[in-house]
Chain A
Amino acid sequence: MSSRKIRVLVAKPGLDGHDRGVKVVARGLRDAGMEVIYTGLHQTPQQVAETALQEDVDVVGLSILSGAHMTLAPRIKELLCENGMEDVLLLVGGIIPEGDREKLLSAGHADQVFTPGDPLDKITAYIFNQFQESTSS
């Protein structure tokens, strides 16, 4: 990978309109030096996967507070793989009960899950760590 900025797509799949968290995270990642694209609300899994491909992102962050994460996250992972983006880092944030978090991680439907109370630093540090070897500082 070149020394370009880490490109992140933050997305709101599903019908839930709670966008406070996703906007704070988007801004935090941008302030930390990443290139951030925000999909806006009410995206279908197809729309999220297509935007990820078009924008050629390194990271996809899903924000889901509606309880539909066990349907939406696996579907988006599947579509990303169909688009040849199996290596993209897939993060899920929102109201995710502990049991579901373990299922998402163990099934490979998410690389990491963040929940309310996790500070922004934790998310940015996680992403930077994942790209430490491939990006020049």
Chain B
Amino acid sequence: MDQEKLERIKALKELWAKEVEELKTREELPVTVSGKPVQALYTPLDTADLDYEEDLGFPGSYPYTRGVQPNMYRGRLWTMRQFSGFGDAYDSNRRYRYLLEQGQTGLSVAFDMPTLMGYDSDSDRSLGEVGRCGVAVDSLEDMEILFDQIPLDRVTTSMTINGPAAILWCMYLANAEKQGVGLDQVGGTIQNDILKEYTAQKSWIFPPEPSMRLITDIFAFASDHVPRWNTISISGYHIREAGSTAAQELAFTLADGFAYVEAGINAGLDVDRFAPRLSFFFNAHIDFFEEICKYRAARRIWARRMKEKYGAKDPRSLMMRFHTQTAGCSLAAQEPENNIIRTTTEALSAVLGGTQSLHTNSMDEVLALPTEKAVKIALRTQQVLAYESGVANTIDPLAGSYFIEALTGQMEAEAEEYFRRIDDLGGVLSAIDQGFIQQEIADAAYEYQQAVDRNERVVVGVNRYNTAEPMEIELLKIDPQVEKKQLERLKQLKEKRDGVKVADCLADLKKSAAASDNLIPKILEAVRCYATEGEIASALKEVFGEYKEKPLF
């Protein structure tokens, strides 16, 4: 647009602003859910510096702002992948087969707390937690039951597992072998993102250094043997759930991503050997436009840095592919059916932001793990968006909006500012060690809660339009017998397996851990002879030690 036209628009905008000044304003503050002010109106003045080719480009082309595939949802819809797992492997296997029958296109495993923390069900730390928040998996035997009658060459599986990711991944691979599926045939994702565990999700086992080594061992092993596997899902989801703003989610997630790239390079790997298998995972919170801009900015920042700073040449190294989950923390326990509408709004932002896969929360997840009915509504929400709403017809349909482009640019700038601050602190690991990222998140969480408590931020059914009568819904109950049954089966397993072989494998693993061998073949050997997760984690703890957090609030 030429300068003369811009000047004229500027003059007209001033006239408009004068007119608005006279008008009444609503009492609710015009800020995003992250507390960022937004203007009442955006015009060509806000996007005057935008260069189409440099800043947006075409879908499937650098800098990928408009999407990673040239045809996006015209070619294939996003993968509908509901995170799910509860009780024992039998219970979860039934749920997975139900979801696949309902048209879900990929699996996503939720493990229980002991599994996430590297404890077996029979550990005294596991008391009361077995099968509660997810499925209990202690050994390869549980993995075999979990995927019984599910063909691992056709279904891709995402596993939310971090500290003990290498162990659970090896169990999955060993199970695929037993199904007769070659490692080059299996596809899926392990979360394997330890950095955000230290700052947000808090399910860790080992200190940062050995944890990073396990991650780069996985990168190397996968690039040689499991080429279809996404070796890490660098996650902002939990950072956001822990209370961060959208810009913090964006910045801390990408900063973690760059730290993994640097770790891979420092481990001697060529960036284009492992970067194509890095994937991301974002939150879809309730602020519709802010979220869309976050995804667009994320793709652009990643592509630029990977190319300019890390010298990646393979286009797949520059493409940020990501999974999205709607925001659990945006849901309310009061009048839970309203959560269906929140989730729909959030899912729509993820789709308009170009996600590769999506989990929609069930309305009851703020109260318990979801019932079959609730999870079906959540899946149907995605199907209605995909097939009825028409939003999948056109690629990146909001591009060119003055607001969307201005906010995308602003999010990018805010992230860059955080990268500078993290660099000044000596990088991500050092920023975590100094509590910087944790404190930023805690501060944002507290500010948000205060805004809600002061009624500055409206949550419908909670601090406004809250009726006294509770809306009753049916909840999923975990059978209290699950823990007992799991313990019994684990006991039987330990009796029937070859104990000498297990001990040998664990001794061998410890030796390799103390040296610098790639640990994946050793862990794979241990899980094949039914060493349990807890046994393998304990062996590694003896060499690596355990992480301890400095509590702050």
Which residues of A are at the interface with B, using a C-beta cutoff of 8 A? 14-20, 22-24, 26-28, 30, 36, 38-42, 44, 66-68, 70-72, 95, 97-98, 115-117, 119-121
Smallest CB separation, B151 vs chain A (Å): 32
> When A20-B241, A116-B333, A117-B332 are in contact, do A38 and B553 touch as well, CB less than 8 Å?
yes
By a CB distance below 8 angstroms, the chain B residues around A120 are: 449-450, 453
Once bound together, how far apart are the Cα atoms of A23 and B329, in whole Å? 15
**B125/A15 in contact, CB under 8 A:** yes
Smallest CB separation, B344 vs chain A (Å): 20
> When A20-B329, A41-B202 are in contact, do A15 and B113 touch as well, CB less than 8 Å?
yes
Smallest CB separation, B199 vs chain A (Å): 11
Cβ contact of A97, chosen from B126, B203, B368, B452, cutoff 8 A: B368
- The residue on B at minimum CB distance from A30 is B553
**B242/A20 in contact, CB under 8 A:** yes
Summarize B's interface: helix, strand, loop or mixed. loop
Which residues of B are at the interface with A, using a C-beta cutoff of 8 A? 113-114, 116-117, 119, 124-129, 132-133, 197, 201-203, 241-243, 329, 332-334, 366-369, 442, 445-446, 449-450, 452-453, 459, 462-463, 470, 475, 478, 549-553
Known: A23-B553, A67-B478. 10 other contacts (CB 8 A): A17-B203, A20-B242, A28-B449, A36-B553, A67-B368, A68-B132, A97-B368, A116-B366, A117-B459, A117-B462
**B133/A16 in contact, CB under 8 A:** yes
By a CB distance below 8 angstroms, the chain A residues around B445 are: 20, 23-24
A-B contact pairs, 7 of them (CB 8 A): A14-B128, A16-B129, A20-B241, A67-B129, A67-B132, A67-B368, A71-B127
In order of increasing CB-CB distance, the 5 nearest A-B pairs are: A71-B128, A17-B202, A40-B551, A15-B113, A67-B132
> When A15-B113, A19-B242 are in contact, do A44 and B125 touch as well, CB less than 8 Å?
yes
**A15/B551 in contact, CB under 8 A:** no
Cβ contact of A116, chosen from B242, B332, B446, B549, cutoff 8 A: B332
**A95/B329 in contact, CB under 8 A:** no
Smallest CB separation, A103 vs chain B (Å): 13
Summarize A's interface: helix, strand, loop or mixed. loop
Smallest CB separation, A132 vs chain B (Å): 22
Cβ contact of B128, chosen from A20, A42, A68, cutoff 8 A: A68
Once bound together, how far apart are the Cα atoms of A121 and B454, in whole Å? 10
Smallest CB separation, B309 vs chain A (Å): 32
By a CB distance below 8 angstroms, the chain A residues around B127 are: 68, 71
By a CB distance below 8 angstroms, the chain A residues around B553 are: 22-23, 26-27, 30, 36, 38
Cβ contact of B243, chosen from A15, A20, A72, A95, cutoff 8 A: A20
Smallest CB separation, B169 vs chain A (Å): 21
Once bound together, how far apart are the Cα atoms of A46 and B39, in whole Å? 53
**A14/B129 in contact, CB under 8 A:** yes
Once bound together, how far apart are the Cα atoms of A71 and B132, in whole Å? 12
Once bound together, how far apart are the Cα atoms of A117 and B445, in whole Å? 14
Once bound together, how far apart are the Cα atoms of A66 and B549, in whole Å? 20
**B446/A27 in contact, CB under 8 A:** yes
Smallest CB separation, B548 vs chain A (Å): 8
Once bound together, how far apart are the Cα atoms of A68 and B125, in whole Å? 12
Once bound together, how far apart are the Cα atoms of A20 and B243, in whole Å? 7
By a CB distance below 8 angstroms, the chain A residues around B197 are: 17
Smallest CB separation, B143 vs chain A (Å): 20
By a CB distance below 8 angstroms, the chain B residues around A115 are: 333
Once bound together, how far apart are the Cα atoms of A119 and B368, in whole Å? 21
Smallest CB separation, B421 vs chain A (Å): 21
By a CB distance below 8 angstroms, the chain A residues around B462 are: 117
**A15/B453 in contact, CB under 8 A:** no
Cβ contact of B129, chosen from A22, A28, A68, cutoff 8 A: A68
- The residue on A at minimum CB distance from B242 is A20
**B128/A24 in contact, CB under 8 A:** no
By a CB distance below 8 angstroms, the chain A residues around B119 are: 15
Cβ contact of A121, chosen from B334, B446, B453, B550, cutoff 8 A: B453
- The residue on B at minimum CB distance from A65 is B133
By a CB distance below 8 angstroms, the chain A residues around B203 are: 15, 17
